[in-house]
Every structure is written in C-alpha cells, then in structure tokens.
Structure 1
Amino acid sequence: MTQHITVQGTVADGYEAVREEFAAFVTGERHDYEGQLCAYVHGRRVVDLWAGPGGGPDALYGVFSSSKGAAHLVVALLVQDGTLELDRKVTYYWPEFGVEGKGALTLREVLAHRAGLIGTDSGFSAAELADDRALAERLADQRPFWRPGAAFGYHALVIGALTGEIVRRATGRTVQELYEERVRAPYGLDFHLGLAAVHESRFRTTLPMLPTPAQQVELDALPAGPHTLPGIAFNRHAAEPTDLEALPNDPVVRAKGPASVGGVASARGLAGMYAAMISEVGGQAPLLKEDTIAEFGQPHSAGQDLVIRAYAAFGLGFQATAEARHPFLGAGTIGHSGAAGSQAFADRRAGLAYGYTRRRCAYPGGAAPENDRLAAAVHRAALTA
C-alpha cells in the first residue's frame, strides 16, 4: 500500500519545484523511508528538506564513500598549499611503499584509482578496515592487481588509507585531524570523519537494501565472486567477508572515521562542505581556488572500470560527477556518492553545492536513483531562480 510521508523543511523562492520533486518521490516510498536534501547556491542555503519517521534535519547517517570527498578536499588543500605535489612519486613521501612494482606510482595516479592496489591477497579484518594506518601498512607490501597506470578500478575501501598515509608522512597529521581543523570545525559542518561521542545520539542506524524480486535476480546474476577484482575490492574474500551495509553501524568505524567509507553526515553537512569549497560562506573565502578545483575535477580516469565492471569517471580523489552520473551538470563538477545512496557535489559553474542522504541503502548502491531527478530539479532552479 502506498504510504504518504510528510516532507518538512524550507526552500527559497524559485526552488518550489525542488520541494515538489522531493514530495513526489517520497510519496511512493516505503513507510520507513528517511532522507534529507540540501543545496546551496553561491554560498546561500536554498533547499533544506527532510522526510520520514524518526529523522529530522539534524539526524546523522552513514555516508560510506561520500567520505572520500572530505578526505580528498584535505589533499586538494595540501596540493594548493604546495605541501603535496601531484606528480611526485609516492615513495618520496612513503619510501616503504615502493616494493612489488609500485616504485614509479605517483600521487596523481593513486588519486585517479590507477594504482591497482584495491586490497590484499588475504583481505582485511574488521579491525583493520576501521583503521587507516593498519590498512596502509598492509597495502605497502602488496603487489598490485594490475600494472599500475595501465588501467583504473575503484579502490573502494582503501583509497582514503593510501592517500591518508601520504598526507601523514608529509605533514605528521592524519587526514581526519586536518579535516577537523581546516574544514569541519571552522564551518560547523555536520559531516564527521570520526564521530565524537557527544553526537552519537543523532546517528541513525543504517538499514539494509531491500531489492524487489526483479532487482534481486539482477544482483544474483552479477559475476562478482570473492576472488574476482570486485570481490577483493569489497573484501568479500576475507576470512570474515565484509558486510558493506553494516560498516557505519559499528561504533569503532564511526569513532575512527576511516577516510574511504567511515564518514557520518547530514545532507546539510554534505552540501555545506561543498559550498565552502567553491563559495564564500559566512564571510570566509572559498576553500579552493578555481585552478585547484579544475585540476581535481578534470577527468583523469574514464571508461571501463575494472572493479565496477561498468563505465565510471574519476577526477583526483573525487568522482567526475557530470561525466559519471549527472550529465546536465557543468564540466569539472566534483563530488562523491556513497553506497547507501548519498550524493554530494559542487558545480562551480552554477555555484551549486548539493547534498542528499538516506537511511535505508538504495538499490543498486552508489548514488540512489532519485538523485537523478532531485539534482536535475535543483540545477534547473539554480540556473533560473
């Protein structure tokens, strides 16, 4: 039976169609749907909506790979500062990394998912997946799963540990520490890489995906055994295979905030971070200069992804969101989606920052299908309001 879920929140003048699109979507959803939608245009919040029982604008959700956006904003800031150089070999920062054919890899290639270092032969324990330092130590000794630079594939669970170790070697600080100091705290963002105990009461447990029977047939048909590249990348070959959907429900993961998948956020937090990246917010200049955004948003890997086994497009640490998912967005749009369905991006050409979260994991994973309609509605309003 169709359930009617009330949409709450506000939109600015000219953005009424966004509220209507959100309401049209949630009307047909399950009775336990919870989600949030937020957008900024030129640093001003213009959409702030939420729906579902038990949630609200301050609810926090596991955002999985949307965490990579926060981690790689830190990398972009360090490149902008001159602390990191994209075309330096990784071994310049991390000498132990240069074994098993990895000695020529550059930071740029790692950020573009071209390292071939998607996991390890035996997989990771749950404790290791929560700890970027432990992941990095294991990965330093691992032979890549393809010739570095020859192809690309999504380093789903490990790219934040790889780039995070480079950051730590170059600065003496973790990605999580620098993100807190330079991004989250100054802007008061509800986007956390390492959730403090004081915020735990606002976390909403991630609920599993519930595909329709037809969708389940599609899932069962996917050629992704435990020892395939997808299986290794998502740690399905480990002694205790990873239940991806349950990762943010582990309090250790939330507390440590592993940079690939451990972030906890609201839609306000997601959109607010990308707004601070490209726009003046609260009297503060944009975090990134235009040439930095252009460098990190320029597609570096596009085509058949060896892990996803489908078309994908990546900039540096970020997804090339216009090329990968939303072609109506401006060239050079950067962002990152997450396994439960979250989506976040910055389109500097439209001055638009977008954030979406949901509680129950969406089929088929990654940016939930409703983002296609919601992001398009926000983008249209941003260009005409």
Structure 2
Amino acid sequence: MTVVRGRCDARFEAVRKAFEENFESRGELGAAVAVFAGGEPVVDLWGGWADAAGTREWERDTLVNVWSTTKGVTALVAHLLVEEGQLDLDAPVARYWPEFAAAGKEQLPVRHLLSHRAGLAGLREPLTVADLYDWESTVARLAATEPWWEPGSRSGYHAMTYGFLVGEVIRRVTGRTTGAYLRERVTGPLGIDFAIGLPESEDSRVAELVPPQRVEGSEQSAVFAQLHPAAIAALTNPVLSAADANTAEWRRAQLPALNGHGTARAVAALYGILTGAPIGPEGGPEGGPEGGPGLLGRDAVERVREGQGACTDLVLGAGFGGETEIALGCWLSGPRRSYGPNPRAFGHDGYGGSFGLADPETGISVGYVMNRMGPRIADDPRKMALIEALYASL
C-alpha cells in the first residue's frame, strides 16, 4: 500500500481518501494534489514513486511536466498584461506582431488566440519535435499560414500552437519569453515552484513520465479517419510522447502550451491567482509581490472566464463529450462538470491526467500532478474522483 504524506485539513479528509484510492485502484504511480481555499493551503499531499522502476520516492518538492495544464498558466500571463494595460484582447494580433497579418489574418483579434478560435490549430507542413524547439522558425511559420477554418466561428483545440501564438504576443509586448516574464512577474516574487523552460539545476527533482497504455492501431486509425485535417495536424504534427518530455531538450525549451514543470502546490497557487485570491510564498495568504490584494481584480477574473460560445470542438470532436466551451485561456466546467458542479468554474487539463482548477465562487483552487499518464486528453478518472471528493467536502 502506497504511503501518502503531507497535510490535509480534517474538513477535506475525503480528498485524502480519494487520493489514496487513486493508488489502490486507479493505477497511480507517483502523484501530488494540493487545494487552496482563499489562497490558503488546506490540502498538500504526495506519494508514490518518481520513476517507473520505483527507486525514487515522490517528495514534497518533486517536479513533473504537466503538459497542457501549462496553458492556463500562459493565459494568466496574458491576463496580467491586460490588467496592466499592455494588451488589448480585442485588438488585432497584428498590432503587436505585424508579420501575423499575412494570409488574411489582418483583423484576427487576440481573444481568438486565447479561446482556440484562430483556426491555427496546427501547421500543414510536417514538423519534428526538434522543430518545436526552434521558436523563431515556428512562429514565422504560424504568422505566414492561413487558418483552417473561419476564425471566431468555432473552437478547435490548438494543442501545440497555442503556446507559440499566445507566447509570441507576450514576447512582442514584453520583450521576454513567457517563461522569463512568468518568473520575473509571478513565480519568482511569490516563491511558486513552477517553470516554463526548466533550468538544468532542477533536473534532479523531475519525475519520470510514464506513457499511457497504447491504443490498438486499428482502433486508433478508425478514430483518426473521422477527424478534420486540422485535428490531425493539431494532435499529430508532430506526434509527442512521454519519452520526448523526459529529455533535457524538452525541459529547456520554451513551449508555453506543453512543458511547464511544477509541483501540485505550484499549480494550485497559479490557478488560485485566477480566482482573484492573494497568493504568497508556498501558496500562503500573504498577498501579491508587495503584499495586499491578489494580482487579478474582480473584473479580470470575470474576463478570464468569459465564455466565447459553446460548440463541438473541431479538433476534439463529438467523441470528447459533445459541446464544450472555452473561455479566454481555460475550459469552463459547464454541464460536463469537468471542474466541479459550478458551471462557471474553470481550469485546464494536461495530457495524461494533470489539471489545475479555479472556482471564484468558493475561492477554491486545485493542482494535481502525476507521472503515470492515462490515455485521455481530459477528465481522467483520477481527476474526477478528486474533484468529486473536494466538492463533497465543501
């Protein structure tokens, strides 16, 4: 039986139980979960193994790649720039990134990038994983390409391109990469253990990702045969694997949609900022960098979760569960209850199971990270068990 360590307020004992059950009956290898209420940590649990061989225990400070849970953090950076008056979500992307005006994209607004409605879910020319490490080349290709569908008409999950698109706007506005601006503006001052572009000095703390069980080839082929060409480009150009994410090249790169590394506590703290809560070092309720209120005001929190229209996502398709709605950088919980019973709670999942959750009404934020990947893009059973236990505790 896996020993779970950490602390958990008595009120949230159901969360501890669900976390333990993830190890006992849902295939967990190594993982951590953290919950903040009003910016104060009330759950901080971890357990299991940081490697497939079971030779390294998962520690309180173990880091792991969280895949697309990173997208919510990148959205946070964009919303901070909006809050500071440096970025207008309704302005054309080309105002900040002139080269982007090519191929009929002159008037495409920034909000379409955040809400996956830009029609730029993937590139048409074949890419390798190594190509993703070349920022300048990738953003130049995206600037030159034409949309797969009419921008704004519907969402189509920008699985890999999101980070380059939003990240290049951030770079044009601030002169810094997303990872550098995040470190200087948020994670450094607040002592939050999360990075986009991980320094080599932190490699010893990183958990090994273990790939999900492979889908049988014929079954996988049947699924992909039904997808829109943009979906195939979004999800398979290039094909990514746990092996890629375990390399030094991946960790060092700037991939603001894919390669954030952090603890569950860090994810909960960052998504806690999206609730408007004051977050201090290690997630304590100590205010912003200079004390006082949170980094985002009430209007900014409402802006983050401003729905852009429910639809069947063009990339993820009906098989994802029917209609969903993406706000400005995160998914709304909606009728699927992906982030609990509050339909206006929001968050983001990472491939394989990780997630961040923000619920401004309850003041709750959650971070969950793990290294044994499940096969789903979203709503992993381990996630849903934790969320159900959390809301049963409120």
TM-score, normalization: structure 1? 0.90
How high is the sequence identity, in percent, across the aligned residues? Answer: 33
1:257 is aligned to 254
Kindly indicate whether the alpha-carbon contact (under 8 Å) linking 1:257 and 1:263 is maintained by their aligned counterparts in 2: no
CA distance in 2, matches of 1:145, 1:221: 22
CA distance in 1, matches of 2:226, 2:130: 23
CA positional deviation for 1:324: 5.4
2:41 is aligned to 45
Are positions 1:229 and 2:244 aligned together?
no
**1:334 maps to which of 336, 346, 352:** 346
CA positional deviation for 1:224: 4.8
2:96 is aligned to 93
Q: How does 1:307-322 map to 2 (within 5 A)?
A: 307-310=315-318, 311-322=323-334
Kindly indicate whether the alpha-carbon contact (under 8 Å) linking 1:132 and 1:164 is maintained by their aligned counterparts in 2: no
Are positions 1:290 and 2:306 aligned together?
no
Residue type of the partner of 2:31? G
Residue type of the partner of 1:260? A
Are positions 1:300 and 2:303 aligned together?
no
* SS of aligned partner of 1:38: strand
Kindly indicate whether the alpha-carbon contact (under 8 Å) linking 2:339 and 2:357 is maintained by their aligned counterparts in 1: no
Q: How does 1:154-173 map to 2 (within 5 A)?
A: 154-173=157-176
Residue type of the partner of 2:382? E
CA distance in 1, matches of 2:243, 2:137: 20
Cα 1:253/1:163, change in 2 over 3 Å:
same
Kindly indicate whether the alpha-carbon contact (under 8 Å) linking 2:309 and 2:326 is maintained by their aligned counterparts in 1: yes
Residue type of the partner of 1:77? L
- Count residues with an aligned counterpart: 372
CA distance in 1, matches of 2:34, 2:312: 31
Are positions 1:359 and 2:360 aligned together?
no
CA positional deviation for 1:371: 1.1
1:34 is aligned to 30
Cα 1:172/1:224, change in 2 over 3 Å:
farther
Are positions 1:67 and 2:55 aligned together?
no
**1:13 maps to which of 10, 15, 18:** 10
CA positional deviation for 1:235: 3.4
CA distance in 2, matches of 1:144, 1:125: 21
Cα 1:167/1:253, change in 2 over 3 Å:
same
Cα 1:219/1:22, change in 2 over 3 Å:
farther
Residue type of the partner of 2:349? S
Kindly indicate whether the alpha-carbon contact (under 8 Å) linking 2:339 and 2:347 is maintained by their aligned counterparts in 1: no
Are positions 1:194 and 2:197 aligned together?
yes
Are positions 1:272 and 2:284 aligned together?
no
Q: Where in structure 2 are there 5+ consecutive unaligned residues?
A: 50-56, 281-285, 288-292
Kindly indicate whether the alpha-carbon contact (under 8 Å) linking 1:124 and 1:235 is maintained by their aligned counterparts in 2: no
Kindly indicate whether the alpha-carbon contact (under 8 Å) linking 1:50 and 1:57 is maintained by their aligned counterparts in 2: yes
* SS of aligned partner of 2:224: coil
CA positional deviation for 1:328: 3.3
Residue type of the partner of 2:229? T
* Moved beyond 4 Å, runs of 4+: 216-220, 224-227, 322-325
CA distance in 2, matches of 1:224, 1:130: 29
**1:125 maps to which of 119, 125, 128:** 128
Q: Over aligned residues, Cα RMSD in angstroms?
A: 2.2
**2:137 maps to which of 104, 120, 134:** 134
Residue type of the partner of 1:279? A
CA distance in 1, matches of 2:60, 2:218: 35
Q: Where in structure 1 are there 5+ consecutive unaligned residues?
A: none
CA distance in 2, matches of 1:57, 1:219: 37
